[in-house]
Structure 1
Amino acid sequence: MSTLIKPPPIDSSKSAIEQMLDLTQLTPIDPDLFTNTQPLWHPPGARGIFGGAIIAQCLAAAQRTIPVDFSIHSMHCYFVLAGDSEIPVVYHVEHVREGRSFATRTVQARQRGKVIFTTTLSFVKMDSAGKEKVEHAFSMPDVPGPSEEESRRHAQDDDQPFESQRIDIGNSARSKVSPAPDP
C-alpha cells in the first residue's frame, strides 16, 4: 500500500486529466501535515517516483496553509532522495513568513522519516501591487500588421513555419586567422 489511508477507487467516468488532478488531493493529518491520497507513479527505468507528482503535492500542501487570496510567486525545489512508490509520502509544511503581501512556506516530503524532497515557496497576495507593479519587459509596440498581399505571398510559399535566408558571416576576427594548408 502506498498511502496511509485507503485511496478512493479509480473512477472510469473521469477523463485522464481529471484523474491527474485527483493526484493533487491530499489527506490532512494535522493543520501542517498531509499525506498523499493516490498512489504515486514510478516510471519504468527510473530510480524513484515521478518528481512532478511530488512537486504538485508539495504545492498543494503549502496552498492549504495560506489565505485564498494568495497565489504562488516562486518555488525552489530540491530532490534529495529517490522516493519509493510503495511507501506513503508525508508532507510537512513550515510557516516561514506571514506578511500582508507575501507568505513563505517550506515543505518537506518524507518517507520513513527521511526527507526525499524539499521546497521553498513564496506566495503573493493577488492585486497587492495595485497600479504600481514592476514590469520585467517592455510593452510590445503598436505596429500595423502585414499587408494582405504580403500575408498571401508568405502563405503560398513553402508549407514551412520559418523563412530561411543565407547570410554572410561578418566576423572580423576570422579574417585574421590564416586558413589551414591543404594536406
Structure 2
Amino acid sequence: MLEVESGQHPTAAVLGCADSRVPVELLFDTGFGDLFVVRNAGTLSTTAAIASLEYAVAHLGVPVIVVLGHERCGAVEAALNPALTLTPSLAQLVGQLRMELINLGGHHDLDQASRHHTLNAARNLVDSSVLLTDLLRAGRLSVEAAFYNLHTTTIDWMGAVMPMRTEQFISTP
C-alpha cells in the first residue's frame, strides 16, 4: 500500500496562483503528497482558499503556510489594465485585485504590484481567520510570503506574516 493511501501527511501548505508556469510541487522539489496546495488565479485569499488552508492546519497538522506570488501574474496585469474586456467572473476577480492595488497605493509596475499583492494576500489570509491568527500567536503556525521569479527560477522569501495587533482594532473615545 502506498503511504498516501493511508491519509494525508503534508509538511506544508501553499496558497499559489493557478498560472501553469508556477508548478508548486516542482519549485519546492517535493514528492507526492508532501504539500497541501491551494491554487487560484491571482493567489487570492478567497473564502474557499481560507477554508482549505484552515483544514490543512486544523486536521492535517500543517505547521507552515506559504503564500506564493510570482512575476508577470496575468490576474494582476489585468487589474492594472482597466481597458480589458473580461467575462463577468474574471471581471469580479480582477475588480477585487484592482481595488486592493488602489488601496495599496496604486502601483503601476506589474512586478512591484504583484509583490505587494502577495504580501497583502498573506495578510488577508491571516487576518480573515480566527484559527490561523490564534495558532500564529501561540507559535504553532508560521505564514510566509514568497515570490517566484520566472526568469531566474528562484524564490524570494519575503518574510513571515503576523496578525494585526488587537489594539489596532480598538478605537479610543
For normalisation by structure 2, the TM-score amounts to 0.28
Q: Over alpha carbons, which structure has the higher Rg? A: 1
Higher RCO, Cα 8 Å, sep 6+: 2
For normalisation by structure 1, the TM-score amounts to 0.27
